[in-house]
A and B are shown apart, each in its own frame.
Chain A
Amino acid sequence: MTLDWSVVWQHRDALAQGTATTFLLTVATMAIAVPCGIVVAVLRLYGWSPLRSLATAYVELFRNLPLILVVYWAFYVLPILTGLGLSPLATGLAALSLNVTAYNAETFRAGINSIRRGQVEAAMALGMTRLQALRRVVVPQALRRVLPVLASTWVSLFKDTSLVSVIAVTELAYVSMQIRAQTFRVLEMLTAMAALYWLLGYPQAKIVDWIQRRWSVTE
């Protein structure tokens, strides 16, 4: 078997485009899923009880569905539900956001719950309101505690964006598969794809490690 690696270089522009879309999807998903995750977590913890149940149902649904199913579901069902003709990119972004928001909500909820009761009591003993205690004492500590988890979610998300290739979002995986289909250079393209994901993902994982060291609060 002869290998022809030139195919990778020939398609560098398409691969660069795909890589850019992968990054865009990751950044946009997190930009949506972090604030939404905080809102869902706070609703689950302190919300009016019907809202609390709704938030719980949402989290339990999307945390326990395979992401690829959610992607397909968004592709076929969202247009019917919303009456909008969403682009594959927007559909993929919606599916990823639904999934990651559910995970982030659990992360934030665990973070807030992990702060000892005594911390709130110490704040209230100074004369703070419950909201001041949450804002000045609980949330700042909770954010620091969950930052490493959020960073790991980021790294997983970066790879999971490849799942939206099934609905023809032209990110890195989809582009690579397209080139493979056109050139029949299966081994070369799969290897190139693996190398690209790894080279891009590894530094991010290292940054996560650094964040964990830098931001951990010791007591």
Chain B
Amino acid sequence: MTERTKAGGSTIIRYLDVVKRYGAFTALRGVSLDVHAGEVVCLIGPSGSGKSTLLRCTNGLETIDGGDIEFEGTRLARDDRGLRAMRQRMGMVFQNFELFPHLTALQNVAEGPRTVLRMPLDEAERRALAMLDKVGLADKAPNYPSALSGGQQQRVAIARALAMQPDVMLFDEPTSALDPETIGEVLNVMKALAEEGMTMVVVTHEMTFARRVGDWIAVFDAGRIVEQGPPRQIFDAPTTERTRDFLGHLGWTG
């Protein structure tokens, strides 16, 4: 393995031989990976290779059947109360945004601080507005999600996750449901976040983003990590046939 530039930071998430089964189907066959503070780790690979599953195991939306996940040095909680405490420190962004359609953009972002952190309404809304401003959508605060473009909805979803002031952000194919012309605005917000030093785990098919913004790339295939390393290694000098294959199918020429 080549040098890992930000490996000096403490390990925030450690996946140890993680196994996940759905009935007879094994989605993860022993995945081990470290995520350090301030790093952007991109999970790439073909559909159904287990990268989204690993992300969903990280905050306990899926339970694991083997191995371990450590978050900030402690084993991922198995009980509801412990899980909730961990989820508060991990922001998650979904492929389909999953904004709450009955709430305005501002209310969506304020919902976590209000309900989970029990913050007073005016304080929660002040924080929400600051987060919307951060993703460039302060002027859309009173709009309902249905009045926003896909890219804008996803930026609101990022603001909603940031409003909980998480230590880590998890992105599950954040641009896969977007029109091509709105992908850029979402990636720009993510890039800005990375430059601020946010620790991020990103499941993505955006190879340009992974190469430019990613610090560490893990290539998935059939429930395993077939190769991991810095983007230069993965994209310019992949060491496994499977990585070359996958990138070749994407038409990736480096």
Contact = CB atoms under 8 A, between A and B. Distances in A.
A126 B61 contact: no
Contacts of A217: 101-102, 146
Interface string A107-129: 00000000010110111111111
A127 B101 contact: no
Given A132-B115, A219-B145, A127 B98 contact: no
A132 B80 CA distance: 13
B102 A126 contact: no
Interface in A173-219: 217-219
Contacts of B100: 119, 122-123, 137, 141
A118 B87 contact: no
B155 interface: no
Given A124-B87, A127-B112, A218 B101 contact: yes
B33 interface: no
Given A118-B94, A124-B61, A128-B115, A219 B101 contact: yes
A126 B112 CA distance: 6
Nearest to B80: A129
A125 B93 CA distance: 9
A136 B115 contact: yes
B98 A119 contact: yes
A173 to B, nearest CB: 40
Interface in B78-100: 80, 84-85, 87-88, 90-92, 94, 96, 98-100
A144 B164 CA distance: 28
Contacts of A124: 61, 84, 87
Interface in B109-162: 111-112, 115-116, 144-146, 160-161
A118 B90 CA distance: 17
Contacts of B84: 124, 127-129
A140 interface: yes
Given A141-B102, A219-B146, A122 B94 contact: yes
Nearest to B99: A122
Q: Interface SS of chain A: helix, strand, loop or mixed?
A: helix
Given A121-B61, A219-B145, A128 B98 contact: no
B102 A122 contact: no
A124 B98 CA distance: 12
B59 interface: yes
Contacts of B92: 122, 125
A102 to B, nearest CB: 27
Contacts of B99: 122
A140 B87 contact: no
B111 A118 contact: no
A126 B87 contact: yes
Contacts of B146: 217-219
Interface in B52-73: 59, 61
Interface string B225-239: 000000000000000
Interface in A45-92: none
A219 to B, nearest CB: 5
A116 B101 CA distance: 11
Nearest to B86: A127
A215 B119 CA distance: 29
B59 A125 contact: yes
Contacts of A118: 94, 96, 98
B203 to A, nearest CB: 14
A219 B90 CA distance: 26
A128 B99 CA distance: 15
A214 to B, nearest CB: 14
B87 A127 contact: yes
Contacts of A144: 102
Nearest to A141: B102
Contact of A127 (B85, B96, B102, B145): B85
A121 B145 contact: no
Contacts of B111: 126, 136
Interface in A25-46: none
Contacts of B161: 125-126
Contact of A126 (B80, B96, B116, B144): B116
The 5 closest A-B pairs by CB, nearest first: A122-B98, A127-B88, A126-B112, A125-B92, A218-B146
10 contacts: A122-B98, A122-B99, A122-B100, A126-B112, A128-B116, A136-B115, A141-B100, A217-B102, A218-B144, A219-B145
